[in-house]
Amino acid sequence: MSFQPDAPLAERMRPSRLEDLIGQQHLVGANGVIRKAIAAGNVPSMILWGPPGVGKTTIANIIANEVKKPFYTLSAISSGVKEVREVIEKARISQRSILFIDEIHRFNKSQQDALLGAVEKGTITLIGATTENPSFEVNSALLSRCQVYALKPLNENELLDLVKQALERDVQLKKHSFVIKEHQALLNLSGGDARKLLNLVELISETYPEGGIEITDQLVMDVAQKKIAIYDKSGEQHYDIISAFIKSIRGSDPNAAVYYLARMVEGGEDVKFIARRMLILASEDIGNANPTALVIANNTFQAVDVIGYPEARIILSQCAVYLASSPKSNASYMAINNAMQIVNETGDLPVPLSIRNAPTKLMKDMGYGQGYQYAHDYSNNFVNTEFLPDKIKGTKLYDPGKNAREEELRRYLKSLWGKKYDY
């Protein structure tokens, strides 16, 4: 445990041994994969994926401390290819150094590519930390060379243990003689983020330097309302604001959508995170009621990735207004949900022989592909033949939404299938 008197409480309480780490026992507990790797002296390159304040940086520091190897730290926000290459050059001399990159999802492709050779050759052991899904944010070549470990939010007991540990062990806090009478506000405001929780405890100690007080929910809220920012992209507000943003677009309210977008822009939210959520919404909540919405959302995602702040706010606003002003339909979303439910209930139903692929003579002799009617050989490019497995024939999974575009689809499908699917 480090007790540097001038450092913030969260830094003073950062553990240097696995035994002192609270949470993430599935990774660092008695049977945890990271603990076993450290014990074996064979720590692989890894991506630590999880929400803010759950121990990603701490685990990286503990690994470096336990295995006694040179340890370098870079932040993807302030570092580029030049800094990466400088670390790799130092690592060639010291051999098997550990490089920790915080917010690795902010590295672009060329920056991530600069790591590949050194990771593959073992010049460095890479530990990347990210709050975003690495499947989307880390390129596949680098991802294939790393283990991905998912970290969990700290639960209520773990957060309370963290506060108790700080009150008992921190030299500064021990002077205040705080008594925690109520803790719900502390937990709610921290949102499972250990760093945010300790910052709040320290804030209380600074607000009441005389000490000797009872910490109640009301006291915590009074301190928080005076000191905590309106939007914290790494805390609970992050989830509240993006939820309000999405619900505003879904509810066809462009005014509220732009307001919540501004909250995120002012808070420095990742532009790709905002664009990705709109891309999902364009398909889930608009779908074929306005197929162009998906095109615009996809173009927005690509554009803001290239542009960045501050100009990206204009592109995000245009897309948000367009999506909020578009007709809505979740018919395609419901269709795939219905289909997946049937798959889970019925298992692997046999595909009808007539529509199976028949690349070999044996398969043709077994009847694969026989009787298949090529739609383009018939009037209106349509044959009144079902394609679902026999057990679920006649099942209707897609029901067009009540909007102009999908009413067109409904009329067309009804002209083909008649009364069969009640279109």
Calpha distance 94→353 (Å, rounded): 63
Sign of CA dihedral 42, 69, 12, 73: negative
Check residue 24 and give its pLDDT.
92
Check residue 264 and give its pLDDT.
87
Check residue 239 and give its pLDDT.
74
Kindly state the helix (H) or strand (E) to which residue 237 belongs, with its residue range: helix 236-250
pLDDT digit string, tens, across residues 126-162? 999 998 888 878 888 889 899 999 998 888 899 999 9
Per CATH, the architecture of 23-150 is what? 3-Layer(aba) Sandwich (3.40)
Pick from 107, 89, 95, 5: which is nearest to 47 by CA?
107
Check residue 230 and give its pLDDT.
44
Tokens for 32, please give them: 């945890």
Contact yes or no for 100/72 (Cβ under 8 A): yes
Calpha distance 415→409 (Å, rounded): 10
Check residue 77 and give its pLDDT.
74
Calpha distance 253→324 (Å, rounded): 6
CATH 1.10.8.60: which residues of the chain?
156-227
At residue 47, φ and ψ (nearest 5 deg) are -115, 120
Tokens for 132, please give them: 């975003």
Calpha distance 14→20 (Å, rounded): 9
Q: Can you list the alpha helix ranges (DSSP code H) found in 251-392? A: 254-266, 271-281, 292-307, 312-324, 331-346, 361-365
Check residue 313 and give its pLDDT.
93
Tokens for 389, please give them: 């497995």
Q: How buried is 93 (Cβ within 10 angstroms: 0-12 exposed, 13-18 middle, 19+ buried)?
A: exposed
pTM, 2 dp: 0.56
CA 323 and chain centroid, separation: 22
Q: Is 49 helix (H, G, I), strand (E, B) or coil?
A: strand
Check residue 226 and give its pLDDT.
61
Pick from 47, 42, 8, 48: which is nearest to 24 by CA?
48
Domain range 236-324, its CATH number among 1.10.760.10, 3.30.1330.10, 1.20.272.10, 3.90.550.10: 1.20.272.10
Q: Which residues, including other chains, have CB under 8 Å from residue 101's CB and lie 6 or more apart? A: 73, 74, 75, 76, 79, 107, 126, 127, 128, 129
- Residue 326: HSE in the Cβ half-sphere, 13 Å Cα cutoff: 29
Q: What is the pLDDT along the chain (423 residues), one digit of tens a residue?
A: 444 556 788 888 888 888 889 999 999 998 999 999 998 888 999 999 988 889 999 999 899 888 888 888 888 777 778 888 888 888 887 767 889 998 888 887 778 888 888 888 888 899 999 988 888 788 888 898 999 999 988 888 999 999 988 888 888 887 777 888 888 888 888 777 888 888 888 888 888 877 777 888 888 888 876 654 444 555 556 677 888 999 999 999 999 999 999 988 877 788 899 999 999 999 999 999 999 999 999 999 999 988 888 899 999 999 999 999 999 999 999 999 999 999 988 888 888 888 888 888 887 888 888 889 999 999 989 999 989 998 999 999 999 999 999 999 999 999 999 999 988
Check residue 95 and give its pLDDT.
67
DSSP state letter for 400:
-
CATH 1.20.272.10: which residues of the chain?
236-324
User: Span 156-227: which CATH code?
Assistant: 1.10.8.60
